[in-house]
Structure 1
Amino acid sequence: MPASAPTGTPPPLAAPAPAAFRHVLGHVPTSVCVVTAATAAGPVGVTVGSFTSVSLEPPLVAFWAGAASASADAVVRAGRFGVNVLAEDQREVCAAFARRTPDRFATGDWEYPPDGPPRLGGAAAWLTCDVEGSVPAGDHVMVIGRVLDLAAADGPRRPLLFHRGRLVRLDRAHAVHAPTHSFGWWDR
């Protein structure tokens, strides 16, 4: 049977309730990162759970933070930021930067490069980016950054994840070999 084109405008759907939205989207695991910047007033940082790559050419990434976050606003105004991908043993760092406490950098082993944002020792990965722009997105702001420098930890530093309202770890399958498939575009 041939498909037919829809006729007219579909009826409007009601937006899901915030609790239902949070519950369903909580089934999508996300990374846990601390985004940092060096400012004239001192280092700033904020925990984010929405961080992603955007483009290979040019190398762009993005993160989302609450629109009312003073730390996120300070990161954008600084013009350069760092993304510290938290390792599974850095839950305390996640909690410190998720709260509105003044001494966040007392938790964790921080390095303060003279020309860049604070970098967390022991993180699973690090990126240094220049702010390309920011876009309001509902009750959040999306910050896009051009990657200037990046590195991943040597050895078995697995990332901390957020899933179904909790911080979780990756877990290896127990004595099961799962065949892998190479995505040609990923290996370039």
Structure 2
Amino acid sequence: MERFTLGQAQQSGCPDEPEHRRLRRALGRWPTGVAIATCGRVGEQMAGLTINSFASVSLDPPLVLWSLARTASVAPAFKAAPFFAINVLEAGQEALARRFAEREDRFAGLPLERGLEDLPLIPEAIAVFECRRTAVHPGGDHWILLGEVMRVTTRPGRALAFHEGMFRELP
């Protein structure tokens, strides 16, 4: 067993501090789903990135949230966009998750569906939540985006998961 107290590193803002690395490893013990957040309009300015910080907030009204690193290149686009979509990836879509985590030309050559407000949607996603952004809150080194779900689309399939730094398929 390992137990540690967060102290000075918590306020330092330096992600390379030993305490931050240990915290990141501990947080990695919590398995999450993998999704791609998208905003903008198909064929115009679009932004997207891979996320695993997605959660339901409320059923009435239907609200979801996700977090976005303040340093992400797409942060200004998502903070300004009145609408966004969360595209939940299926097991086997690791390459798509990596594409939206690592590349700058994330949408190049990718077939897209058009959602409400012309949102770019990932056609192979097993669940898509099309949302109207209702709030953006500061959360440490991240922004917390809250959205009201306007439309949901689901397809059969099992979700792609992320656990201890690796993509995984749920049984």
TM-score normalised to structure 2 length = 0.84
Is 1:87 equivalent to 2:93 in the alignment? no
**1:106 positional shift:** 2.9
**1:89 positional shift:** 1.7
Q: Give the counterpart letter for 1:45 in structure 2.
A: G
Q: Tell me, which stretches of 5 or more residues in structure 1 are unaligned?
A: 1-11, 172-188
More helix by share: 2
Q: Distance in 1 between matches of 2:91 and 2:46?
A: 23
Runs of 4+ residues over 2 Å off in structure 1: 12-16, 106-109, 112-116
CA deviations on 1:137-181 (whole Å, 9 max, x unpaired) are 11111100000000211x3x111111000111101xxxxxxxxxx
Residue in structure 2 matching 1:42, options 37, 40, 45: 45
Is 1:111 equivalent to 2:110 in the alignment? no
Identity %: 34
* Structure showing greater Rg: 1
How well do the aligned residues superpose, as a CA RMSD in angstroms?
A: 2.0
Q: Distance in 2 between matches of 1:98 and 1:18?
A: 21
Q: Distance in 2 between matches of 1:79 and 1:42?
A: 13
**1:76 positional shift:** 2.5
Q: Which has the higher contact order (CA 8 A, sep 6+)?
A: 2
C-alpha contact 1:37 1:116 (8 A) present in aligned 2 = no
**1:116 positional shift:** 3.0
Partner of 2:70: 67
Partner of 1:180: none
Q: Distance in 2 between matches of 1:112 and 1:13?
A: 45
C-alpha contact 1:93 1:108 (8 A) present in aligned 2 = no
C-alpha contact 1:47 1:97 (8 A) present in aligned 2 = yes
Partner of 2:56: 53
Q: Tell me, which stretches of 5 or more residues in structure 2 are unaligned?
A: 11-17
